[in-house]
Amino acid sequence: MKKFSDETIIAKARVNLVDVKQAGANQVDVAVDLKDEKLITHNYAVTFRRDGMGSPWVPADITEISSM
């Protein structure tokens, strides 16, 4: 079970998505690190997909990588 809601993880990933410079890609994985109230870092990968150049990026999958 994820510590953070999908909405929180996706919101953070969208901020990081701005930095992605893969113009030709239609799928990209964005890393997200979030700390909980106990200062444990939770790492997630959010996969975004789009139909083609100029199409909006849509979150397709969230994977929890680790919690430390």
| Rama region for 42: left / alpha / beta (φ>0; ψ in -120 to 50; rest) | beta
Ordered domains of the chain (ranges, CATH) = 6-67 (3.10.450)
What average pLDDT does the segment 59-64 reach? Answer: 96
Question: What mean pLDDT do residues 45-64 have?
Answer: 91
Q: What is the pTM of this model?
A: 0.84
How far apart CA 43 and CA 34 sit, in angstroms, is 7
**Dihedrals phi, psi of 17, to nearest 5 degrees:** -65, -30
Which pLDDT score, from 0 to 100, does residue 1 have?
66
- pLDDT score, position 52: 81
4-49 pLDDT, tens per residue? 999 999 999 998 887 665 667 889 999 999 999 999 999 999 999 9
